[in-house]
Structure 1
Amino acid sequence: MSLYIGREASKLWKRICAETTTEINLLLENWKYLLGGLIGQYIHGVAARGVHFIHRPGPLLQDAGFFLLPELGQERGYVSETVFIFIFLSFFLWTFHPFIFKSKKIYTVLLWCRVLAFLVVSQTLRILTFYSTQLPGPNYHCREGSRFATLPQPDSILKYFIISEFPSGVLHGCGDLIFSSHMIFTLVFVRTYHKYGTRRFVKQCAWLTAVVQSLLIIASRKHYTVDVVVAWYTVNLVVYFIDSKLPELPDRGAAALLPVSKESRTKEENHKLLNGNAGDPTDRRLRSQVNGKVVEDSNTLLSETVLNSV
């Protein structure tokens, strides 16, 4: 028994080392895209904090969701945040599953390049929207009489660009309403797993969780219904458009994300090695796709049978 456990642990360690080497090579070529995506997250945070300075509390707007859904109350506001944290952490951990499991359907670095592209474009549209019109925040800390409703003007312009109130600034933001940032992350993560995930049941649960998250946001009075509705069609359209412009993952490798030039031919040959043309043939079969889409678990056996018969 101990010999079996030791052998499996050795295989797992070799798998982690091999995947780490591959991901580091991809990271060295695509770091600029990841860095750009992280800078986009910072700019979005600064913009959301900036609109808080000009937010003015006022009476709640008439909202169909507030009328139809029961109000959870300020003491139950953590419910929607708990669901969002669950979605975020579940997706984050799933993107690193190739380091552990044999079914290596994706490359973590390339997937996050794609996800950050979805997020940055959606957040750019969000910034343009909530700076166009500032609505009175429906959340409890954004209403009249709350000390968080409006931020005091800083004594230095540099303080506009320093997000020092995390996580208080995220939890007590006001003014950045249309459209919901929580729904941006939720829908991007759910759509990404829907395309590259392999568990059909998990996909169905993910979409159900997104719907539940939408209702909880409204019931917690963190956003108006319009903020959630606009997020649903805007983010889905953004992801659909950008996804159609980007090359398919993962078989085409990182070189497809870069401009094609004569200098990239040598890099493409290196990527062929990274993308499965060398190494364990079983791993290559597991990374295979049909028509650019990941094969569902139920069809994996059939796919392997066809490949073995060729």
Structure 2
Amino acid sequence: MTLYIRRESSKLWKRFWSEIATEIGLLAENWKYLLAGIICQYIHGLAAKGVHYIHLPGPTLQDLGYFLLPELGQERSYISETVFTSVFVSFFLWTFHPFILKSKKIYTVLIWCRVLAFLVACQFLRVITFYSTQLPGPNYHCREGSKVSTLPWPKSPLEVLEINPHGVMYGCGDLIFSSHMIFTLVFVLTYQKYGTKRFIKLFGWLIAFVQSLLIIASRKHYTVDVVVAWYTVNLVVFCLDKKLPELPDRTTVLLPVISKERTKEENHKLLLNGNGVDPADWRPRAQVNGKIDSNGVHTDNSLNGA
């Protein structure tokens, strides 16, 4: 039993370090795309913070989702955040599964390049949308009378460039469309294409639907914010997926490439051993119907009148 455990652990370590070497090579080739995607995440955060400065609290707009779904209340707003965090962490860990599991279908670096491309495109559209029209935030800290519904004007340029995690959770004004749904749908769509477990795919879509309802019930977004996210993210991912180069399939077994020099050497060894084939035998042979003779000249050996 102990020998079996040692043997399996040794295989696991070899697989782990082999995967690291492969991913490092891919990272050296694609680090610019990853860095650009991370910088765009920071810019998106700055844009969301900027719209908070000009947010004007007001009465909550009439919303169909608010009539149909019961309000969870401020004390239960953590439920939607817990679901979103679970989705984010689960997807993040899944992208690193090739380091441990044998069933390898993706490369971690390449899948994150693709995911970041989807996120950046959706967030670009999101920034344009919520700067075009500022809606009064329905969240509790964005309503009239709240001290944090509008940010005080910055006192220095450095303050503008700072992103406070507290501000990310309690932002106002960046409504259409939901950032939480962008991440959730991009993750679900990515697993839908590159994942292998059917029940997880179905469960992912169920979680995305439940997440939509929880966001509305928590009054973090209007229903239109969620609806726009559903069709916008799906369309963006569909269009970009057609333009981006397809990821290499790791399940495909590649045949070894044999060079011409190696083939000549092997034929020479066979001839020396007496197992070779006479080069004269490589000439075209006469077919049964007499179409080609040994000299490659077309003939017709069929009987006259046949």
- TM-score of the alignment, normalized to the shorter chain, above 0.5: yes
Q: Distance in 1 between matches of 2:154 and 2:140?
A: 24
Bigger Rg, structure 1 or 2: 2
2:81 counterpart residue number: 81
Superposed displacement of residue 242, structure 1: 0.3
Alignment partner, residue 242 of structure 1:
240
Q: Distance in 2 between matches of 1:122 and 1:148?
A: 27
Write the deviation string for residues 59-84 of structure 1: whole angstroms up to 9, x where unpaired. 00000000000000000000000000
Map of 1:214 onto structure 2: 212
Q: Is the 8 A contact 1:74 1:140 kept in 2?
A: yes
Taking the aligned partners of 2:207 and 2:110, their CA distance within structure 1 comes to 26
Could you tell me which amino acid in structure 2 is paired with residue 34 of structure 1? Answer: L
Partner residue in 2 for 1:171: 169
- Could you say which residue in structure 1 is the equivalent of 2:301? none
Residues 215/127 of structure 1: CA separation in 2 closer, same or farther (3 Å cut):
same
User: What is the TM-score normalised by the length of structure 1?
Assistant: 0.81
Deviations 1:8-29 (A, max 9, x none): 0000000000000000000000
Unaligned runs of 5+ in 1: 253-274, 280-310
Counterparts of 2:249 and 2:31 in 1: how far apart (Å)?
19
Counterparts of residues 85-124 of structure 1 (less than 5 Å): 85-124=85-124
Q: Tell me the CA shift for residue 157 of structure 1.
A: 2.4
Match runs of 1:28-43 below 5 Å: 28-43=28-43
Distance 1:276 1:31, change over 3 A: farther
Distance change (3 Å), C-alpha of 1:278 and 1:159: farther
* Post-superposition offset of 1:140: 0.2
Cα pair 1:110 1:250 within 8 Å, conserved: no
Figure out how many residues of one structure are paired with residues of the other and give that number: 255
- TM-score by length of structure 2 reads 0.82
CA displacement 1:21-54 (0-9 Å, x = unmatched): 0000000000000000000100000000000010
For residues 132 and 161 of structure 1, what CA distance do their matches in structure 2 show? Answer: 22
Q: Is 1:132 aligned to residue 132 of structure 2?
A: yes
- CA-based RMSD of the aligned residues comes to 1.3
Tell me the distance in 1 between the aligned counterparts of 2:158 and 2:91.
34
| C-alpha separation in 1, matches of 2:39 and 2:103 | 32
Are 2:105 and 2:249, in contact at CA under 8 Å, matched by a contact in 1? no
| Partner SS, residue 90 of structure 1 | helix
CA separation in 2, counterparts of 1:277 and 1:97?
A: 22
**Structure 2: runs of 5+ lacking an equivalent:** 257-306
Cα deviation, residue 171, structure 1: 1.0
1:203 and 2:201 are equivalent in the alignment: yes
- Cα distance, 1:249 vs. partner? 1.2
Q: CA separation in 2, counterparts of 1:220 and 1:170?
A: 16
Matching residue's letter, 1:92: F
Match of residue 305 from structure 1: none
Percent identity reads 74
* Counterpart Cα distance in 2 of 1:24 and 1:50: 37
